[in-house]
Structure 1
Amino acid sequence: MARIVLGLEYDGRPFHGWQRQKALPTLQESLELALAQIANHPVSTQVAGRTDTGVHAAYQVVHFDTTAQRPLSAWVRGVNCLLPPAMAVRWAREVEEGFHARYSACRRRYRYLLLNRPQRPGLWAGRVGWFHPPLELQPMQEAAQCLLGWHDFSAFRAAECQAKTPVKLLTQAEVRQDGELFIFEFEANAFLHHMVRNLVGNLLFVGKGAWPASHLKTVLESCDRSCSAMTFTPDGLYFLGPRYDPAFELPEPSMLSLF
């Protein structure tokens, strides 16, 4: 039995999220069906971070076990021939049995791309979020700093979240601007369901002047979802991948500057 790790990228729009759902196209189902054809037996995958409908991934990691003896190229080129166009395997590695795509990850990263202009996106439709009222960068940057460290993030947690604890360590919360594009960066040991989209929604309330920067700390400390702003759209959300111990010798993410 061999344990294989894959690095993936995908456009989340054609899929109803990562996890298998009855009678709906999902990323997990698409990948497992393709892998099963190459392995010639059913395949079950474990993923570093499950993404919702419409959420993209620049660097997703999965692992699976197989009794099939195949060259690593078969798990890349062969599987890619069988996957939908919006999903692709970037690389494949064989690892020790102790590796787990989810539980071996020590941190995870997300980026949200937001177009801030009066007109909705055309070329980037579905690939960026859109907010038409003008935004101020500095108040959002100031507000984001209160999120760093260990906190109970219940105020930014979806009602259906299944995480055992809402307490997470956020090590990066940054906002920068490139013309009409605002870029939100988050890194944590783990994220709650809808946490990044809720953080972005709250920061936009600060950016448009509805709240002072200090109010985000009040929302955080309330641990009350009803005190928080709306869940923002998934369109501009990208999973930038997990971080693992270098001892696993997995490829580092590349080309992330394009996002």
Structure 2
Amino acid sequence: MRVALGIEYDGSSYRGYQEQPGGQTIQDELQRALAKIAATPVNVVCAGRTDAGVHATGQVVHFDTEARRPMTAWVRGVNTFLPPDIAIRWARVVPDAFHARFSAFGRSYRYLLINRPQRPGVWNGRAGWYHHPLDVSRMREAAGLLLGEHDFSAFRAADCQAKSPVKLMRRAEVKRLGDLVVFDFEAGAFLHHMVRNLVGSLVYVGQGKQPPGWVAELLLKADRRLAAPTFSPAGLYLVGVHYEPHWGLPSNEGAVETLF
């Protein structure tokens, strides 16, 4: 039997999603808790691996098990064995053909940035911070140039293992809510550090270091050395993984629109 789970977590205390020999990852904690309910080791496959310090409200995973349990056991039961900063939101039995990663046609990320002279307190670890004033209208104009299919090599980490840097960006928006600047991105898939690198370059535009059209130049030149430094992971959230309706999974759109 194959089961899909919707998960949320605060990644501040973890070394990322993917299990590592030293432990302290989301996958380690998740598999340990699932094994308690399944009474046997469980291996989970995720829709998108998140880095150290990155959060999620809409992560999706799947696992195979012979254990017959009610869906409540895979939610409330597993949650009793998880640390308080990781939680299962929902569970569904899915066809064997379903794959958390390869069945997804899109992913949505949100970056939260505190923009004020004083460093954050309550927001520490849960939002990025930039102390210089930012012009959101300029950033919004630059973000619009990211829409469509492009080579995103200028925003790709050196150790990225993706086969191609060409991605289709379906959503790239920037808005301000008081001291909070919110960046929303949706694409079929993302390169390693792509969102954090995009945010860094949009911040350069917002501060006036570069014009909005600079972002289009970066796309054309496809050179990571020309773009801004990688921004902090603290404000990055995987807020949604998108699947065709026939898989019968809950929509993550509520998480996208209501997050802060």
Normalised TM-score (structure 1): 0.98
Aligned to 2:126: 127
For residues 169-220 of structure 1, the C-alpha deviation after alignment (integer angstroms, 9 at most, x for no partner) is 0000110111111100000000000000000000000000000111111111
Cα distance in 2 for residues equivalent to 1:52 and 1:35 = 22
Cα distance in 2 for residues equivalent to 1:223 and 1:123 = 37
Cα distance in 2 for residues equivalent to 1:255 and 1:205 = 28
Cα distance in 1 for residues equivalent to 2:168 and 2:259 = 27
SS of the counterpart of 1:121?
Answer: coil
Aligned ranges 1:54-203 → 2 under 5 Å: 54-203=53-202
SS of the counterpart of 1:78?
Answer: helix
SS of the counterpart of 1:13?
Answer: helix
RMSD over aligned Cα, in angstroms? Answer: 0.8
Cα distance in 1 for residues equivalent to 2:249 and 2:216 = 37
Cα distance in 2 for residues equivalent to 1:241 and 1:53 = 18
- CA shift for structure 1 position 24: 3.2
Cα distance in 2 for residues equivalent to 1:41 and 1:123 = 39
- CA shift for structure 1 position 53: 0.5
Gaps of 5+ in 2: none
SS of the counterpart of 1:235?
Answer: helix
Cα distance in 2 for residues equivalent to 1:191 and 1:31 = 24
Normalised TM-score (structure 2): 0.98
Q: Which residue identity lines up with residue 27 of structure 1 in the other structure?
A: I
The answer to whether the 8 A contact 2:16-2:52 is kept is yes
The answer to whether the 8 A contact 2:174-2:182 is kept is yes
- CA shift for structure 1 position 236: 0.6
Q: Which residue identity lines up with residue 204 of structure 2 in the other structure?
A: F
Cα distance in 2 for residues equivalent to 1:215 and 1:23 = 41
SS of the counterpart of 2:238?
Answer: strand
Aligned to 1:206: 205
Q: How many aligned residue pairs are there?
A: 258
| Identical columns (%) | 58
For residues 64-99 of structure 1, the C-alpha deviation after alignment (integer angstroms, 9 at most, x for no partner) is 000111111111111101111100001110011011
Gaps of 5+ in 1: none
- CA shift for structure 1 position 255: 4.2
Cα distance in 1 for residues equivalent to 2:195 and 2:247 = 28
SS of the counterpart of 1:147?
Answer: coil
SS of the counterpart of 2:62?
Answer: strand
